[in-house]
Amino acid sequence: MSEQENKNEVVYDPNRTATAEDLKLWAAIVADPKNLECTCTVTVCEYHGKCKQCLAVHRYYEGFPGCLRGFVDRIKAEKA
> Could you read off the pLDDT of 10-61 as tens digits, one per residue?
667 778 888 899 899 989 999 999 988 888 988 899 999 999 999 999 999 9
Sorted by where each begins, the domain ranges of the chain are: 39-80
* pTM given for the model: 0.63
Cα separation of 69 and 72, whole Å? 5
Q: Determine contact, residues 69/40, Cβ cutoff 8 Å.
A: no
Question: Is 45 exposed, middle or buried (CB count within 10 Å of its CB: 0-12, 13-18, 19+)?
Answer: middle
